[in-house]
Structure formats: C-alpha cells, structure tokens
Structure 1
Amino acid sequence: MVTVPGKNDVSARQSLHKAVTRWRADRGYTSADLIRTAGEALTDGLDSPSLRVLAASSTADSTWDIRELACRALEELEIRTSGAAPWGTVVTADGEVVRRQAVDSLRLDVAQEVDGKHVGPHVRVYVNDVEMTAAGAGFGMDPYDVLVPTNRLLATTQPHTIPIARCRCTSYSCTGTDVTITRDGDVVHWDWSRKIPMDRGVTFDATHYDNEVTWAAEDLSWETAPYRKAGRLVLTTMDRDHLLRYGLRPAFVFGGSEVFGLVLEINDDYQIIVKTPWLDRTPEDLAAAVCTTLTTPPSEWQATWHAIKGEVDDPPTIAGPAWQREEI
C-alpha cells in the first residue's frame, strides 16, 4: 500500500527525502544510515514495496541496488527528489516544489594562507558564517577565477554556473565545488554541484547579495605582489577580439621579481607563453606594454609554445620566427 501524505507522516517523509539526498551526494552518509532511516520511516507509518525491501537491506548489498531501491521508494511514495526540481526551489515534505525564501546570509573575503601556510590569494565563501569553500572541495578559488576580468558572482535571471572551490592541492580539475547562481525577483539562489558543502541549496536577499559581491570585486587587498595588479590590468584591458581572430584565449598569468608572464591557449592544442621583463616599471606601465604587444600579429611576438596533448613537434600555425618551444 502506498500512503497518502498526512499530518502524522510529514516528518517521516521529510527525513526519508533528506536521507536519500545526503546519501546520493556522498557526504559521508553511509548505506547503513540510509537503511536505518528507511526502517524508521516504516515505523513512523510510511509504506511502499521498495521501502520495505530497502529497510531490510544489508550494507553488503550492491550500492547500485540500494540506489535503485531508494529511488523507487521515493517514486512510490510520490516524494519528488531535489535533483528533479528546478534551480531555486525546494521539495517540501509532501513532495511539493516551492520557491525558496531568503533565509541565508553570504559573506566573502580573500585570504592569503591556509592552515598557516602562504598559498596565495583565494576567495573564501561563508554561508550563515560557515565556510563553504572548506566544507566543499576544500580551498577557495583564485580571484582571477571568479572576480577578474568580470565579476562572475553577479546574479542574473539566466542561471549560470561557476567554480567556487578547488582541491587543497590547489587544482580545480582534481576536485571542485560549483554553484549555479540565479536571480529570482528579490532573492538570489545558489544551487551546489560537484563536491557539495551542504545538503540543500541556499537563498539570499538580492540587495544584500548584490552589495556583498560588488564589495568583493572592489576589494583589491589581494594584490600584494606587483604581478597581481599587472595581471588584473592585463586581463581587464586586453583586446580579446583581436586575440580571438587568431584563436587565442587568455588562460592565466604568473610572475616574479624580474618577469611577468601571460599564458594563452589555442583550443586544447597549445599553450602560448608571452614573457615581459619588469625593467623597473610600475604594474600600470608593464600592463600597458603587454597589452600593446597583444595588439600586434602573434607572428611578431617573442613567445614560447608547448603542445597540451601528446607529443607534437610542429609549432602552432600562427607562430613567428622568434617563437621557441617551451621546455616543461
């Protein structure tokens, strides 16, 4: 028999829905936890064929079998999964999909250290005063990844997904936390993906949200090294349309006391490295010099290259006579 939602089983339905959500998100919630919650749901009055089998399952059973049972139990009980709900909504205990309310707070800052070690600037994200970047993949993104050349945290009515955390090894490709940002009238929704830091999406008051992300973009305290400021100026003022004519897109910048470097990519085939000596120049003057170089044909640059994929001996077709192969 499949039960109809009522006052007495609301909490049971909500607990079961939350348990399946946590288990599927792999947040340390084990099969034993899910099986125990299924048994508690039966005791509290919920009933369906798959829920009975799930409650009688063993932790030695196949993960795929348990997953299938959990999904079937929710379907039989007509509890809609959060993964099937649109961005910015929440599934209530009786399976109804409703718009989330602004009950959460957002705070951003940029730190230079993790666990007492200097690792460079990274944007930390706090929701309700809990650091989501640490709870997710573990380590905030570089300001260049979320604030430069444009503020990717700005919310629009068109949902867009950005990275907000990366692995503690500093590699986003290793593991990462993404968030889909959606403006919905007077609120802004965040919905997590990849390594999720909590088992629900969050919603902020739009005015407070706008103030916080605008402040974060205007705070340049992370530019403690000259190349950081030069990099921001280069990335925000370069002629990207000119570069695109040659299939070039900026990837990242790097620097030291003597040389500033810009790395560009041609699709997933090559990385092109353009190095510019500081020569006692200010960040503003160096950035201007780099941007001037980038307005000329690439064949005129002093640049190096290396192939991203496999062993490729031939340079890019846009290479000039002064180009050399980079030894990685």
Structure 2
Amino acid sequence: MRTVAVDDVGVTETGNGSAEQRLYDTVARWNVDPGYGPADMIHAACQALVDGLDSPMLRELAGASARDPSCDISELVTESLKELGIPAPGTVPPGFAPATGGGVARRPGVDSLRLEVAPTLEDVGDGFQVQVYVNGTEMTSAAAGLGMDPYEIFVPTNHLVATAEPRTVPIARCSCGVYGCGSTDVTITRDGELVHWDWSGEAPMARGVSFPAVEYDVEVARVAADHSWETADRTAGRLVLTELDRERLRAHGLETSWVANDYCDDDVFRVALQIDRDYQVFVDTRWRGRGPEEMAREVCATLALPPSEWHATWRAIKPALTKPPKIAGRSWRPAQF
C-alpha cells in the first residue's frame, strides 16, 4: 500500500475531504448498510468523476444501471478502487486515511477532544455516562447511543491513556444501557506527537480522528481526576474497585461484577461478584452514617477475608444449580429478590 505525505490526506471534520476519501467512505457504507444500494454507488461514481477522479472502471460504474446484478456492481467498485489506488475499506492502517492521488497518508492532528461525565436518563437508572466530544460535537449519542459508565473507562485504570501499542476500548453502549445490545469501540494508538482514534462497531462519523498528543493527554488525565460528579456510593465504589485485591478473589474463582447501593435500600452498599457463569455472590455492608472512605476501607477489609467468613448471599445463574457455591460459609444465604 502506497504511503504519501501527510498534507495529501485531505481530511475534514465531517470526513468529506478529498475525492478519494469521499469515494472510500461511500464504498465502506455500501459494504455494511443494507439500505445503501447500487443506485447510491453509481451516484457516488458519477460524483467522483465530477470531483476529478477518472479511470476506465469508474466510468463504467458511473454508466451502470441500478438494475444490474449486485455482483457486477461490486466487481466494478473493486476494480475502480484498484485503478485509482484507493485502499479497500478495512485495509487502512490505524491512524491513516485515503490520500489524494491514491494510497494512504498519516492523518494530521486536526481534531480536538473533550470528555464529560453526565447523568444518564431516568429510564436507564440513576447512572452516569462518559460523553465524548470531538471538535465540539457529542459522539456517543451519534454512535451506539449512550456513553460508557465512568467505572468501565477510568476504574481501576484509565483505559483512554494512549500507548504505542494499540488498544481497543468500548466508548458507547446502546441507549438501553447495555453494551453489546449496541456498541461502539475506539482503537487508540499513540503515534509520536499524535494520538489516533479509529472507530469500530456503530461509528458516529465516517473517518477516524487524530489529536495532538499533548492536548489529548491533558484532557484524559483531567477527566479521570475529576470526581466532582460522584455521589457517596460512587466514591465508595471507585475506592473499592481501585483498592480491592482482585488476585485474592480470583484465587477463589471470583470476579467483580459491579458495586453500588442496593436499589431497594440506600443504606446498603453492595458488591456483586460472579463465579464463572454459575453463581452471583452479593456482599452487603450498611452505611450507618459513615463516609465513603470509611465504607470503602471496611468493604475491602471484608473482601480480604476468606469467602467462608463473609456474610454473603448467593444466586445460581444456572437453574440446575440448587446448592450453594463450594466456597460458601455457614453465614451464606440464598439471595431474595
């Protein structure tokens, strides 16, 4: 794949920069959007000719009929991209974009990032979301629908920190609150003085985005350190998730699922754990007027004990399991919902 100078990328904030980029975006959409048909691809070919692109197969595509077999249109699209030197969708490396004249070029750091923690709507529960603003436009609602919970991005470690090794991070979930029902991920890559984001899943825009690394690092550190939005149970939850000994829990087959106040009793702080796909385990601690720091210390101290010494409740995920988990102690009871 040919790599050209960065000035030849021709990327704009809307993703409609160079003629090559526009044609690439159209083909990418045609590949995944069932509502995007041959007529749309033919129109895109005509527009590409108007924009100054030219090749024998592109002309043939522009003159095709929307009634032609899809396989014929697909072949014309593939050959047009080859003749023009435009990479096929899915083959552009992270941090690069189709370049003017063909090939790819490193994306310039022309984008800006702002992150904000905001409440979710009541029908999703009393939760919070991390909203992502790129160039002043909120992205998570345009993506899968709802930002991720702050715990899932910043606790116990900040997953938005950029490294030279690319990492893929969930950035948006379905508006119902469930990641997987709908989802948007970004692959984050540090590239010298730039940080690149490349979307996957339900992408909110047609192109990846690239930020000046210094500005990116400052913003990511700022929002991770800002706890002004937290309620008492959120502060306690962050401290528990940060300080608990996960390896000790894993030695007993336990993984942390979530931490929050019990939805039926605000005076009870609950840690939910899971044993494989077999059991849920709940460890409850009463607030009794204590602050979040003291609560977190007590919860972590409890979880540091052998599970057989906990006052816990359990629920079998699989109906066939009728007995308590093997790690259960005498104080364990079936959970009541």
Q: TM-score range by the shorter chain?
A: 0.7 to 0.9
Tell whether the 8 Å contact from 2:189 to 2:196 is kept in structure 1 after alignment.
yes
Kindly indicate whether residue 289 of structure 2 is the aligned counterpart of residue 280 of structure 1.
Answer: yes
Kindly state the Cα deviation for residue 235 of structure 1 after the two structures are TM-superposed.
Answer: 0.4
Kindly indicate whether residue 264 of structure 2 is the aligned counterpart of residue 255 of structure 1.
Answer: no
Kindly state the Cα deviation for residue 42 of structure 1 after the two structures are TM-superposed.
Answer: 5.6
Distance 1:228 1:59 in 2: 58
Distance 1:172 1:264 in 2: 19
Choose from 18, 24, 49 the match for 1:17.
24
Kindly state the Cα deviation for residue 251 of structure 1 after the two structures are TM-superposed.
Answer: 1.6
Residue 56 of structure 1 is matched in structure 2 by 64
Residue 321 of structure 1 is matched in structure 2 by 330
Gaps of 5+ in 2: 1-16
Pair 13,104 (structure 1): closer, same or farther in 2 beyond 3 Å: closer
CA deviations over 1:160-217 (Å, ceiling 9, x no partner): 1111111111111210111111111111110100010001000001110010010001
1:182 aligned partner, one-letter code = T
Tell whether the 8 Å contact from 2:18 to 2:99 is kept in structure 1 after alignment.
no
Residue 100 of structure 1 is matched in structure 2 by 107
Pair 54,172 (structure 1): closer, same or farther in 2 beyond 3 Å: farther
Tell whether the 8 Å contact from 1:36 to 1:55 is kept in structure 2 after alignment.
no
Kindly state the Cα deviation for residue 97 of structure 1 after the two structures are TM-superposed.
Answer: 2.0
Kindly indicate whether residue 162 of structure 2 is the aligned counterpart of residue 155 of structure 1.
Answer: yes
Q: Which sits farther off after the overlay, 298-307 or 208-217? A: 298-307
Residue 222 of structure 2 is matched in structure 1 by 215
Which aligned pairs between 1:163-202 and structure 2 lie closer than 5 A? Answer: 163-202=170-209
Tell whether the 8 Å contact from 1:54 to 1:70 is kept in structure 2 after alignment.
no
Which aligned pairs between 1:79-90 and structure 2 lie closer than 5 A? Answer: 79-90=86-97
Distance 2:327 2:225 in 1: 37
Residue 266 of structure 1 is matched in structure 2 by 275
Kindly state the Cα deviation for residue 107 of structure 1 after the two structures are TM-superposed.
Answer: 0.5
Tell whether the 8 Å contact from 1:253 to 1:261 is kept in structure 2 after alignment.
yes
Tell whether the 8 Å contact from 1:89 to 1:100 is kept in structure 2 after alignment.
yes
Which aligned pairs between 1:141-152 and structure 2 lie closer than 5 A? Answer: 141-152=148-159
2:221 aligned partner, one-letter code = T
Kindly indicate whether residue 306 of structure 2 is the aligned counterpart of residue 300 of structure 1.
Answer: no
Alignment coverage as a number of residue pairs: 317
Residue 75 of structure 1 is matched in structure 2 by 82
1:143 aligned partner, one-letter code = P
Tell whether the 8 Å contact from 1:54 to 1:69 is kept in structure 2 after alignment.
no
CA deviations over 1:255-303 (Å, ceiling 9, x no partner): 1521111112223333222111112221111111110111111122122
Tell whether the 8 Å contact from 1:231 to 1:287 is kept in structure 2 after alignment.
yes
Distance 2:123 2:182 in 1: 22
Tell whether the 8 Å contact from 2:172 to 2:184 is kept in structure 1 after alignment.
yes
CA deviations over 1:33-74 (Å, ceiling 9, x no partner): 223112444676634558735852437965x77556534542
Q: Which sits farther off after the overlay, 40-49 or 75-84? A: 40-49
Kindly state the Cα deviation for residue 126 of structure 1 after the two structures are TM-superposed.
Answer: 0.2
In structure 2, the residue corresponding to 1:190 is in which secondary structure?
Answer: strand
Q: Which sits farther off after the overlay, 24-33 or 141-150? A: 24-33
Kindly indicate whether residue 128 of structure 2 is the aligned counterpart of residue 121 of structure 1.
Answer: yes
In structure 1, the residue corresponding to 2:22 is in which secondary structure?
Answer: helix
Pair 147,25 (structure 1): closer, same or farther in 2 beyond 3 Å: farther
Tell whether the 8 Å contact from 1:139 to 1:166 is kept in structure 2 after alignment.
yes
Identical aligned pairs, as a percentage? 50
Distance 1:115 1:53 in 2: 50
Q: TM-score, normalised by structure 2?
A: 0.84
Distance 2:58 2:320 in 1: 53
Tell whether the 8 Å contact from 1:189 to 1:203 is kept in structure 2 after alignment.
yes
Residue 6 of structure 1 is matched in structure 2 by none
Q: Which sits farther off after the overlay, 131-140 or 260-269? A: 260-269
Tell whether the 8 Å contact from 2:21 to 2:98 is kept in structure 1 after alignment.
no
Tell whether the 8 Å contact from 1:51 to 1:69 is kept in structure 2 after alignment.
no
